[in-house]
C-alpha cells in the first residue's frame, strides 16, 4: 500500500505565506519612493522580516513537541 506524503501544519503554511507576502511588498517598485528616517522602505521591511521570520519559526518549533 502506498504511504502518505508528509504534510505541513497550518502554522507552517501561514509562516511561509507571511514571509512571501512581506518579501513581495518589499520588492514591489510601487513603494520605492517611501522613506522612513531617510532610509527606503525596502530596507526597513527586509530588516523587519529578518527578525520576524525567526521569531515566528521559533514559536512554531517550540510548539511542535506533539506533532
Partner 1 sequence: MTLMIVLGYFLVLIAIGMVAYRRVRNSTDEFFVAGRSLGTFVNSWAFIASLASGGSVMASVGSALALGFPFAAALVAGAPVGFVVASVLVARPLRKLGKYTVPDFFNSRFNSPMMRVVVPVLVVIASSAYIVSQLKGSAIVAGHLLGWDYQTALWVAGVVFVLYVSIGGFLSVTWNDIFQGILLFSCMVGLGVAAFSAMGDFPTAWNATLEAYPALTGAADAHSVWSYVGAFLTWATAISVLPHVIMRVYSARNVRSARVSLNTAMLLYGVMMLIVAIVLVPAAATLLPNADITDPDAIFLTLADRVFGPLGQGVLAAAVLAAIMSTTAGLLMACNSAIGHDLYRGILRPQAGQKEVIRVTQAATWVVGILCILLAINPPEFLIVLYTAAVALLASAFFAPMVLGIWWRRTTAAGAGSGMIGGAVLFGIAFAMDLPTSSEVLIGLPASFLLTVAVSLVTSSGRDDDVRDAWLATQEADETDEEAATDAEPTR
**Binding residues among 36-55 for partner 1 as defined by CB under 8 A:** 37-43, 46-47, 49-51, 53-55
Within 10 Å of residue 45's Cβ, how many Cβ atoms? 20
Note the Cα 62 to chain centre separation in Å: 17
Say whether residue 25 binds partner 1 (CB under 8 A).
no
d(CA 34, CA 31) in angstroms, rounded, equals 6
Q: How far is the CB of 57 from partner 1 (least distance, A)?
A: 4
d(CA 11, CA 9) in angstroms, rounded, equals 5
Which residues contribute to the site for partner 1 (CB under 8 A)? 2-6, 8, 12, 15-16, 19, 23, 27, 29, 31-32, 35, 37-43, 46-47, 49-51, 53-58, 60-62, 64-67
Amino acid at each position: 500500500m502506498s504511504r502518505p506524503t508528509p504534510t505541513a501544519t497550518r502554522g507552517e503554511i501561514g509562516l511561509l505565506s507571511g514571509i512571501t507576502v512581506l518579501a513581495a511588498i518589499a520588492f514591489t517598485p510601487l513603494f520605492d519612493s517611501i522613506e522612513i528616517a531617510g532610509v527606503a522602505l525596502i530596507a526597513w521591511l527586509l530588516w523587519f522580516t529578518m527578525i520576524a521570520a525567526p521569531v515566528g519559526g521559533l514559536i512554531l518549533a517550540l510548539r511542535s513537541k506533539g506533532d
